[in-house]
Amino acid sequence: MKKIAAICCVILFCAVAARAADIRPALQHTFGHEGGYQCSRADSGNWTGGKVGAGILKGTKYGIAAASYPREDIRNLTLDRAGFIYSRDFWGVSRCNEWKSQIIANLYFDFAVNMGQGTAARIIQRAANYAGWPRKPIAVDGEIGPGTVRRLNDVDQTLLFVHLVGLGHNRYVQIVDANPGKMQFLDTWAIRIKSNVQRSVHEYEVKKEQRTINWEALELDASDAVKSAAAKADKKLGR
């Protein structure tokens, strides 16, 4: 009886755990970092030409920059429109809805928004290769295809998270090394990573607690269901 109940619990628990990542928590993470409208002339991202003084000064809002979206009305951009752009050009392109880890998807998504989808994709592919060693590495090409998704879901998620954080920070250091003028942003980028890590740890602990609670509830429900079915069978057989 207990064995049957335990099997039922495993099946139900696996069904819950198999749910794919959702863009809504990821957007919450990223909108928490990306401020409202800013139109600094010194920020190359605020210009439609991608360089200071090139094109039209439109600014950045919710992380959507004129340099990447020169045709958008940045000043009047709504949260809904920003969410649509992120869903279409970042989340969807990266097939994040097929990832099993919400925490990994949140962190990757924030990197993609902050440093570019292609760059973030190459970083997480490298992280997956490190976490999956000594298996044959996947291509680090910035394209999140079915092979990358399978590897992301197959490797140890804790190792993947650690490598993703390390490689993400290393990318910011590379940016500063190549352009010392961006040193002023390094602390902000580092604090952003720190915030993401802290939030991820908190979410992991909450989910861990929920899993324990759900497991006990499911075990009780399954056990009661099995006992009830057994009682009915006994009654039917006249035991």
Q: What pLDDT score does 42 carry?
A: 85
Residue type present at position 68: S
Q: What is the largest CA-CA distance in the chain?
A: 89
Which whole-number Å values give the CA distances from 190 to 107, 113, 165, 183, 212, in the listed order? 13, 15, 10, 11, 33
Mean pLDDT of 5-24: 50
DSSP string, 84-140: HHHIIIIITTTTGGG-S-HHHHHHHHHHHHHH-HHHHHHHHHHHHHHHHTTSPPPP-
Domains of the chain with bracketed CATH: 2-34+83-227 (1.20.141), 38-76 (no CATH)
Q: What pLDDT score does 233 carry?
A: 46
Per-residue pLDDT reduced to its tens digit, 65-82: 999 999 999 999 999 999
Nearest CA-CA partner of 130 in 104, 106, 93, 164: 164
Instruction: Give the distance, in angstroms, between the CA of residue 42 and the centroid of all CA atoms in the same chain.
Output: 30
Residue 227, pLDDT > 60, answer no
The pLDDT confidence band at residue 20, using thresholds 50, 70 and 90, is: confident
Which whole-number Å values give the CA distances from 111 to 26, 107, 136, 192, 215, in the listed order? 11, 6, 25, 10, 33
Per-residue pLDDT reduced to its tens digit, 196-222: 999 888 877 766 655 554 434 444 444
Q: What pLDDT score does 77 carry?
A: 96
Residue 84, pLDDT > 90, answer yes
Nearest CA-CA partner of 124 in 146, 98, 91, 94: 94
Q: Please give the mean pLDDT across all residues of the chain.
A: 83
Helix extents (H) in 18-78: 23-33
Structure tokens at 228: 């009830």
Q: What is the DSSP letter of 143?
A: -
Q: Do the beta carbons of residue 69 and residue 60 sit within 8 Å?
A: no
